[in-house]
Amino acid sequence: MLRILSTAGVIAMLAVSSSAATLKYETELRGASVAPEAVSTDARGKAKLKLKTKKEMIKLKVRVRNLDLDDLLDDPDLGPIQLYAGEAGEVGEVIAPFSLDDFRYKETKKGFKLKIKKIAFDDISVASGMSFDDFATLAAVGGVYVDVDTNANESGELRGQFNGSSKPISADRVQPAPVPLPATGLMLIGGLGLLVARRKTKTA
């Protein structure tokens, strides 16, 4: 889970809290992004995540090149693709797994794709105690990533961190989970300290 939110992350979270019936996120899938150790691979991909906040549903598109369906790890519980909660560079907590049996993976000329048109967050989430609003907040601050597992790299061959920037399509609500108190306190104390220092400089 995210431990301390950056100033940019807090701003993004506040933007989400005041808007957005639909939020869009994108990411590049690369072996170099895999944690805890980067993976050398010719595979590449892209992922698009869309949140429908009013109905608490998600859409997900994943397209990968230079990997075949036969290369994917057939884990009955987690599947070859998952959404995780975690910061870049760390191994996070599984939010939603997408198994080969339950979701539609399709071969393409150069690889494969997974397309989930619309599904309720509660129907796919395996993260204990995580609500849709918690998930939306994590996405808004760059705390959600996609992982692609293969037979050659069972812990992940590709990874993409959603960058936390989104353009709201229509105004609605997402009630984000509160920023953890220690992080909130640190940011407020730091901000107040900076203001005091500036005032002392001006009056000196």
Q: What is the DSSP string of 159-178?
A: EEE--S----SS-----PPP
Whether residue 158 contacts residue 43, with contact meaning beta carbons closer than 8 Å, is answered with: yes
58-67, 100-109, 164-173, 179-188: the lowest-pLDDT one: 179-188
Whether residue 166 contacts residue 26, with contact meaning beta carbons closer than 8 Å, is answered with: no
Return the higher-pLDDT residue of 186 and 101: 101
Tell me what pLDDT residue 128 has: 86
Per cent of the chain over pLDDT 90 is: 67
- Structure letter (DSSP) for residue 75: -
Amino acid occupying residue 42: D
- CB neighbour burial string for 64-96, b if at least 16 within 10 angstroms, e if fewer: bbebeeebbbeeeebbbbbbbbbbeeeebebbb
Mean pLDDT, to the nearest integer, of 1-12?
47
Q: Looking at the predicted structure, is the pLDDT value of residue 124 above 70?
A: yes
Dihedral sign of CA atoms 54, 122, 47, 64 in order: negative
Q: Looking at the predicted structure, is the pLDDT value of residue 152 above 50?
A: yes
Amino acid occupying residue 74: D
Read off the pTM: 0.75
In this structure, are strands 44-52 and 57-65 parallel, antiparallel, or unpaired? antiparallel
The length of the chain in residues reads 204
What tokens appear for 3 in the block?
A: 């431990």
Distance CA 118, CA 91 (A): 27
Tell me what pLDDT residue 166 has: 60
Q: With bands split at pLDDT 50, 70 and 90, how would you rate the model's confidence at 164?
A: confident
Q: Is the peptide bond before 180 cis (omega within 30 degrees of 0)?
A: no
pLDDT digits (tens, 9 = 90+) for 21-76: 899 999 999 999 999 999 999 999 999 999 999 999 999 999 999 999 999 999 99
Mean residue pLDDT of the chain comes to 80
Whether residue 171 contacts residue 19, with contact meaning beta carbons closer than 8 Å, is answered with: yes
